[in-house]
Amino acid sequence: MIFLPSAVTLMNLGMGVVSLMLAFNHQLRLAAVFVLFSVFFDFMDGILARRLNASSEFGKELDSLADMVSFGVAPAFLVLEVLRPFETPGTLSTLVIVACILYIFCGAYRLARFNVLNISDFYIGVPITLAGGLIALLVLTVPALAGWFYLMVLLLLSGLMVSKVTVPKTPWRDPRKIAA
């Protein structure tokens, strides 16, 4: 049973890869849904790891790699594709490219910092899962927003991921803190 959390983590990764494939095929709303499926699997792998007492350094690293794809790369490409109609045909503006790369870099930095700090009571910086999930929700629920809005959200979330803002961990993340 100790393999189960890692299997669920791989489902998170798989949903992120499917989201990328859908975004490349201009199926943006469906791509956003698959990012949200990744959020669900990311939530479940942590619960399973704690309940089965199967947490490990391997699982932590695998989770970060999956999160990088599902909540870093996939949402960045989702925004890239959302903004494509606002660009001159056949080109992408330098600002859009830089913003997407910055978001991916900030997500990677956020995950690396999380892995080395081992703080159990709160997060430092907005978690990449929250950032990627928010982008997917925006694309899914309000796809007709102006391009500059998505660009500003991407830049804001990039800054929040690497900020020193503390975000409390919720009790449902740790079964020991759930009232019986």
Task: For residue range 28-80, list pLDDT tens digits in order.
Answer: 999 999 999 999 999 999 899 889 988 888 988 999 999 999 999 999 999 99
Domain that holds residue 142: 4-171
> Which three-class secondary structure state does DSSP give residue 124?
strand
The pLDDT tens digits of the residues spanning 134-146 come to 999 999 988 667 6
Spatial distance between the Cα atoms of 150 and 169, rounded to a whole number of angstroms = 27
Q: Is the pLDDT of residue 16 over 60?
A: yes
Q: List the CATH number of the domain containing 105.
A: 1.20.120.1760
**Is 179 domain-assigned?**
no
**Is 177 domain-assigned?**
no
**Is 158 domain-assigned?**
yes
Q: Is the pLDDT of residue 14 over 90?
A: yes
103 — phi, psi (to 5°)?
Answer: -60, -45
**Is 178 domain-assigned?**
no
The pLDDT tens digits of the residues spanning 103-160 come to 999 999 999 998 898 777 888 999 999 999 999 999 998 866 767 788 899 999 999 9
The owner of tokens 């859009």 is: 96
What is the structure's pLDDT at 122?
A: 85
> Between the CA of residue 21 and those of 34, 40, 49, 128, what are the distances in Å?
10, 19, 29, 20
Work out how many domains the chain is built from and give that number.
1
Give pTM, 2 decimals: 0.88
**Is 92 domain-assigned?**
yes
Spatial distance between the Cα atoms of 171 and 177, rounded to a whole number of angstroms = 5
Select from 76, 87, 101 the least CA-distant residue to 23.
Answer: 76
Cα 104 off chain centre by: 10
What is the structure's pLDDT at 176?
A: 46
**Is 180 domain-assigned?**
no
Pick the residue with more confidence: 19 or 3? 19
**Is 33 domain-assigned?**
yes
